Amino acid sequence: MTVETISGSPPEHTATTNIAREDHLGFIRACGHEPRILYLVFGF
């Protein structure tokens, strides 16, 4: 992942939140999962 922060919003689009990349990965690990980074290619 090359971005420093990740932004997200709920389905209703009533708010937006940002979380640092390392904090997000730490949260995933704290939940008992090992993050998997997938690189997607667009424009086949």
Residue type, 28: I
pLDDT tens figures, 1-44: 778 999 988 888 888 999 999 999 999 999 999 999 888 888 86
The alpha carbon of residue 28 and the mean position of all alpha carbons in its chain are separated, in whole angstroms, by 10
Residue type, 31: C
Q: What is the pLDDT of residue 35?
A: 92
Distance between the two ends of the chain, CA-based, in angstroms? 21
Q: What is the pLDDT of residue 44?
A: 67
* Cβ 4 vs Cβ 21: under 8 Å: yes
Q: Rounded distance, CA 26 to CA 6, Å?
A: 13
Q: What is the pLDDT of residue 37?
A: 86
* Cβ 18 vs Cβ 9: under 8 Å: no
Q: What is the pLDDT of residue 10?
A: 83
